[in-house]
C-alpha cells in the first residue's frame, strides 16, 4: 500500500467501546486490515473489521457484527497466500469461525464439545495452526486444551462450508489461560500451554499421553500468556498474572529462564515477537508503555529496551504484523494505534 508519500508513523482508530482483542489480517490483498473485539461487561459485544484507507490515510470500519460476550481472542486464518476462504475465528463462550464477505460477515461454524450440556466453560484463548489451517487449539477454564479439526466440504459448489470435530482434549490441574502451536518438528504437532498452576507444558499431538513441563513459576503464580519466537522455535516468552516482567525460556534448558525483561512499572498485558527477527520482542503493559527489546546478548542480562512508546492509556494488547514487520498495533481504552517501528 503506497501511502502517497505521506508516510505517517502512527495511525489511530477510535472504536465506540473499549478494545481488548485485536489481530492483523495476513492476506496479501488486505494489508492494513485488523479485527477488533469489544470489552463490554455484558452479553452483547461486537467485533469490528477496520482497514486503513490509502486515499485518506484514515482507518475505516468496514464491517461490524454482534458477538456474545467479549472475545478473549480473535485471529484471522494464517493464510499468507490468500488461497483459503477469508475466515476469522473468535473465542469467548465457544470457538466460532466466521466467513468475511464484502458487505457482511456470517457465522460459518460454532465448535462446542459439551453437546449434551447447557453449561459451557469459557475459552480463555486459542491458536490457529500455521502449517495446517484445518487445526485449531483452544484453552479453557475447565482445565482442558482442545485441538479441533476443521474439515471443508463443497456444498453444491457454492462455498466451502466448514465444520469441526474434536481431535483431542488434554488437562492441566487448573484453568488453562493460553495455548500456542510451536514451529518445531514440522510446525503441526507440537504445542504448549500455560495456566493457573503456573506451569508451561509442551504437548505432541502424536503422543498425548505425556506432556513435558518446561517451566514453573517459582511462586506458583498463574501464567497468563505464552508466545513462541517466530524464527527460532527453541524460544518462548511468558508472563505471570499481575506480573511486571516477561520471562524468556529456552526449551533446551527447562525450568531456567534465559532472560527476564523487567522495565515495566505496572502489569504486563501483551507480548509479541518480531515476525522477521529471532532477537526482537515487544511487550506492553498497564504503565502505558510498549517496549521493544533486543535479546541478542542472552544469556547476559538484558538491561533496557531499544525502543519505547508511551500511549495515552493502559495498553491491553500488542500485535506485530506478521506480513509487514515495520508495523506494530496496540490497543488502549477505545483506541487502536498502529506504529511504524
Mean pLDDT of the region 249-264:
94
Q: What is the pLDDT of residue 167?
A: 56
Q: What is the pLDDT of residue 111?
A: 83
Residue 25 has a CB neighbour count (10 Å cut-off) of 24
Q: What is the domain count for the chain?
A: 1
Q: Please check whether residue 302 lies inside any domain of the structure.
A: no
Q: Please say if the pLDDT value at position 235 is more than 90.
A: yes
Judged by DSSP in three states, 69 sits in coil
Q: What is the pLDDT of residue 52?
A: 94
DSSP per-residue letters across 198-249: SEEEEEETT-TT--EEEEE-TT-PPEEEEEE-SS-TTEEEEEETT-S-EEEE
Q: Please check whether residue 329 lies inside any domain of the structure.
A: no
CA pair distance 276, 292, nearest whole angstrom: 14
Mean pLDDT of the region 291-299:
93
Q: What confidence tens digit (pLDDT) does each residue in 322-338 have?
A: 999 999 999 999 999 99
Least confident of 82-96, 101-115, 159-173: 159-173
Q: Please say if the pLDDT value at position 170 is more than 70.
A: no
Write out the three cell numbers for 30.
Answer: 488486505
Indicate the average pLDDT of the chain.
88
Q: What is the pLDDT of residue 199?
A: 92
Shortest CA distance to 232 belongs to which of 191, 192, 270, 277?
A: 277
Residue 326 has a CB neighbour count (10 Å cut-off) of 12
Q: Burial, 223: exposed, middle or buried (Cβ in 10 Å; 0-12, 13-18, 19+)? A: buried
Judged by DSSP in three states, 66 sits in strand
Q: What is the pLDDT of residue 144?
A: 81
The answer to whether the Cα torsion of 251, 255, 256, 259 is positive or negative is positive
Q: What is the pLDDT of residue 313?
A: 97
Mean pLDDT of the region 264-278:
97
CATH number, domain of 205, equals 2.130.10.10
Higher pLDDT, 245 or 120: 245
Q: Are 97 and 109 in contact (CB under 8 A)?
A: yes
Confidence tier at 157 by pLDDT (50, 70, 90): very low
Q: Please say if the pLDDT value at position 53 is more than 80.
A: yes
Q: Please check whether residue 134 lies inside any domain of the structure.
A: yes
Q: What is the pLDDT of residue 340?
A: 93
Q: Please check whether residue 324 lies inside any domain of the structure.
A: no
Judged by DSSP in three states, 117 sits in coil
Which domain, by its residues, includes 214?
Answer: 18-268
Query: Is residue 299 reached through a cis peptide bond, with omega within 30 degrees of 0 on the bond before it?
Result: yes
Q: What is the pLDDT of residue 173?
A: 65
Q: Please check whether residue 327 lies inside any domain of the structure.
A: no
Q: Please check whether residue 307 lies inside any domain of the structure.
A: no
Confidence tier at 2 by pLDDT (50, 70, 90): very low
DSSP β-bridge partners for residue 35: 23, 49
CA pair distance 217, 275, nearest whole angstrom: 27
Q: Please say if the pLDDT value at position 205 is more than 90.
A: no
Q: Please check whether residue 326 lies inside any domain of the structure.
A: no
Produce one character per residue of 87-122: b if its CB has 16 or more CB atoms within 10 Å, e if not. bbbbbbbbbbbbbbeeeebeebbebebeeeeeeebe
Q: Please say if the pLDDT value at position 5 is more than 50.
A: no
Look at the block and give the residue holding cell 503456573. 198
Of all residues in the chain, the percent with pLDDT exceeding 90 is 68
Q: Are 317 and 21 in contact (CB under 8 A)?
A: yes
Confidence tier at 158 by pLDDT (50, 70, 90): very low
DSSP per-residue letters across 254-309: TTS-SEEE---SS-EEEEEE-SS-TTEEEEEETTSEEEEEE-TTTTS---S-SEEE
Look at the block and give the residue holding cell 513441563. 213
Q: Please check whether residue 95 lies inside any domain of the structure.
A: yes
Amino acid at each position: 500500500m503506497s501511502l502517497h508519500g505521506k508516510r505517517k508513523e502512527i495511525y489511530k482508530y477510535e472504536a465506540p467501546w473499549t478494545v481488548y482483542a485485536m489481530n492483523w489480517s495476513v492476506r496479501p490483498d488486505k494489508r492494513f486490515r485488523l479485527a477488533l473485539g469489544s470489552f463490554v461487561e455484558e452479553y452483547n459485544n461486537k467485533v469490528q473489521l477496520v482497514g486503513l484507507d490509502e486515499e485518506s490515510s484514515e482507518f475505516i470500519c468496514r464491517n461490524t457484527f454482534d458477538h456474545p460476550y467479549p472475545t478473549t481472542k480473535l485471529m484471522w486464518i494464517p493464510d499468507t497466500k490468500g488461497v483459503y476462504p477469508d475466515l476469522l475465528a473468535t473465542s469467548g463462550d465457544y470457538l466460532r469461525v466466521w466467513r468475511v464477505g464484502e458487505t457482511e460477515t456470517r457465522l460459518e461454524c460454532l465448535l462446542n464439545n459439551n453437546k449434551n450440556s447447557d453449561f459451557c466453560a469459557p475459552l480463555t484463548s486459542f491458536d490457529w495452526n500455521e502449517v495446517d489451517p484445518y487445526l485449531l487449539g483452544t484453552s479453557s477454564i475447565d482445565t482442558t486444551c482442545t485441538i479441533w479439526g476443521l474439515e471443508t466440504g463443497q456444498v453444491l459448489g457454492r462455498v466451502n462450508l466448514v465444520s469441526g470435530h474434536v481431535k483431542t482434549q488434554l488437562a492441566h490441574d487448573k484453568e488453562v489461560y493460553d495455548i500456542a502451536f510451536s514451529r518445531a518438528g514440522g510446525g503441526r504437532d507440537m504445542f504448549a500451554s500455560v495456566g493457573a498452576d503456573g506451569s508451561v507444558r509442551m504437548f505432541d499431538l502424536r503422543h498425548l499421553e505425556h506432556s513435558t513441563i518446561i517451566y514453573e513459576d517459582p511462586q506458583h503464580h498463574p501464567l497468563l500468556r505464552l508466545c513462541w519466537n517466530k524464527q527460532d522455535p527453541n524460544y518462548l516468552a511468558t508472563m505471570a498474572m499481575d506480573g511486571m516482567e516477561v520471562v524468556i525460556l529456552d526449551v533446551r534448558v527447562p525450568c531456567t529462564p534465559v532472560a527476564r525483561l523487567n522495565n515495566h512499572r505496572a502489569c504486563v498485558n501483551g507480548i509479541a515477537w518480531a515476525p522477521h527477527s529471532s532477537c526482537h520482542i515487544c511487550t506492553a503493559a498497564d504503565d502505558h508503555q510498549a517496549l521493544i527489546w533486543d535479546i541478542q546478548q542472552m544469556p547476559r542480562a538484558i538491561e533496557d529496551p531499544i525502543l519505547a512508546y508511551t500511549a495515552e492509556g493502559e495498553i491491553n494488547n500488542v500485535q506485530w504484523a506478521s506480513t509487514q514487520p515495520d508495523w506494530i498495533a496496540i490497543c488502549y481504552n477505545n483506541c487502536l494505534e498502529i506504529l511504524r517501528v
